[in-house]
Amino acid sequence: MSRRNLVVAGIAVAFALSGAVWAADEELRRELDRVKKELEDMRSVKGELAKLKRQQGLANAPIGSADAIVENKYGPNAGVTTKQGKLTIGGLVQVWYYTIQNDNLGLFDDITPGENGGGDSNETKDNDGFRIRRTELKFTIDIHENVTVVVMIDPARETGGAPSFSSNLGTNLRGRTGDQTSFNSNGTMANSSFQTGAGSSQPKLLQDAYVHFHGFVPHHDFQIGQFKPQVGEEGIRSSSALDFVERSMLGQLGDKRDLGMTAHGTWWSDRFQYWLGLWNSAGNFHGSGGDQQNRTDDNDALDFAARILLRPLWKDETWGSIELGASTQFGEHGEAGDQRALGEGDLGDDTTTVDGLNRRRTWAMRHGAWLHYFPGGPVKGWWLKGEWAWMKDRNIPEAVRGFEDGFQGGSDFLQSAPNPFSVQGFYFATGYKISDSIWSDKVPGWFKPFEFAFRYDYFQNITVGDLVRPEERTDVFATTVYTAGINYYIKGNNAKIQMNYNWSDEPQDDNNTPARHLREVRNDSFVVNFQVAW
């Protein structure tokens, strides 16, 4: 073979070898890609299995080292180790700063200063300061795919003496503001002067404690324990999702727990819902017998409650959303004796207690209704809300401070044989949320988190003994509060700042009999809420 042929053969062999090497290399690359894909698929399946285990609460199932690394990571949605089931921890912290217009006189004027029961001062209710309003810690554990347990505590509820809002006179003003009383869980009077460090209050640390059964019956779930009766709307709404710093006056009366059970049905993708419940309902709806929570029942009867919710229009791009509903609760309160008290018939009996109990048997009831509208189209971001409530019940004896024989003077008269009476109220609120509006992408970034709101709040929160028959009859008067608010959402309801200014308007003598000496209290207020929820 010539040298030339040898060169040509060598080149050919080199090309052949390089082609073989290239082919082998390409085959290796394909094999590596296939292995990588299989590994990725395995990781994906492994992740789904780990997620499924967490959802089903399989705490005792064996896990691999990779799962252990994932389960021990820190951050949102990180796993929590529990002996049984899956535990979720939530919370809410609200810190307030408030300032109140100072007025040393109360609603009934300074009648006879220095005499027992004669003065009516607003001095202890208008001090400015900071307040820890809520410190809720909520523990939810899915012990079974159909059984959930919820416990929620709020240590801030153990404090007292802070003024109320939106009116610092409160939702239940029973006579003169300068000498109010609160009641123990058994209905007996208790000194509530937290300003001096004296007195006691019904324990409120434990808020929710209930078992939730779900998935057993199609479209239904069941709760039993202590939680809010499903009555009204704003009262049972989460405290982290309020449109204003504090609920309306009627909403505050609905923000109370009781012990009982509820059946809940939901249809049409939650657009139609109903609740049916049975409740202890200790005390009374007017609040003079103490709260319903954290106490045993004080009567043999149970209250029945029903609530219905309908969303005929929901999340429509053009027309928006409409929610409306109604609720009722009724039953016998008190333990024994005739339902009528002194003056309610020809009883010839002025006994105010029956077998040592603090009040007669009373047929009590409360009703409520609400309507929400969130328009769509060019006005989306605007919202309107309204709610009405009515309640009837009997106070415990000596809960209402009245005026004997129609004269105020220095009398320390207390109502001895109260008849049942009713109060009612309503609110209307509207607002505009920039981030939900058509301008959300056109305004500066600093302006987008703002929401502007206004509320008109009316409630018959003032109850006093009648001028003619003060022992048994109760007269009611209403307070009106106008609230202007600004909300700044840092991270939705999980981090926000709320600012409210409240114009409070009480009744005056020009609208009522001069014998009352009713006067407009200078008690407008400004409140700021700093909120974090998780």
Q: 67 in a domain, yes or no? A: yes
Whether residue 4 is predicted with pLDDT greater than 80 in this model: the reply is no
pLDDT value at residue 186: 36
Q: Between 469 and 26, name the one with better pLDDT.
A: 469
Residue 278: name the closest of 223, 334, 221 by CA.
Answer: 223
Residue 420 and residue 510 in one domain: yes
Q: What is the pLDDT of residues 406-445, one digit of tens each?
A: 444 444 567 878 899 999 999 999 999 999 999 999 999 9
Using CA atoms, how far residue 502 sits from 178, 388, 418, in Å, is 22, 20, 33
78 within domain boundaries: no
Same domain, 122 and 181: yes
Residue 80 lies in a domain: no
Share of the chain above pLDDT 90, in %: 55
Residue 76: inside a domain: no
Ramachandran angles phi, psi of 473, nearest 5°: -95, 150
In a domain, 28, yes or no: yes
Residue 198: beta bridge partners? Answer: none
Same domain, 26 and 95: no
Q: Do 19 and 137 fall within a single domain?
A: no
Residues 428, 326 share a domain: yes
Same domain, 343 and 480: yes
Whether 7 shows a pLDDT value over 50: the answer reads no
Q: 43 and 182, same structural domain?
A: no
- Let me know whether 52 and 118 are in one domain: no
Of 71, 94, 129, the one marking the end of a domain is 71
Average pLDDT over residues 277-306: 92
221 lies in the same domain as 103: yes
Q: Are 474 and 409 in contact (CB under 8 A)?
A: no
Please indicate whether residue 517 or residue 184 has the higher confidence score (pLDDT).
517
What is the pLDDT averaged over residues 347-352?
44
Strands annotated E in 154-257: 173-174, 182-183, 189-190, 206-214, 220-227
- Buried b / exposed e over 391-419, threshold 16 CB at 10 Å, is bbbbbbbbbbbbbeeeebeebebbbbbbb
**Residue 79, domain member (yes or no):** no
List b or e across 488-512, with b for residues whose CB sees 16 or more CB atoms inside 10 angstroms: ebeeebeebebbbebebbbbeeeee
**CATH number where 400 lies:** 2.40.160.10
Q: Is residue 45 in a domain?
A: yes
Expressed as residue numbers, the domain containing 54 is 3-71
- Tell me, yes or no, whether 39 and 96 share the same domain: no
Query: Are residues 52 and 200 part of one domain?
Result: no
Domain limit, last residue, from 41, 71, 101: 71
For residues 264 and 275, is the Cβ–Cβ distance under 8 A? yes
In a domain, 77, yes or no: no
Span of 69-78, 265-274, 349-358, 482-491 with lowest mean pLDDT: 349-358
pLDDT digits 0-9 by tens, 199-249: 445 778 999 999 999 999 999 999 999 999 999 999 999 999 999 999 999
Could you say which of 71, 102, 120 is where a domain stops? Answer: 71
Number of domains into which the chain is organized: 2
Q: Within this chain, do residues 410 and 477 fall inside the same structural domain, yes or no?
A: yes
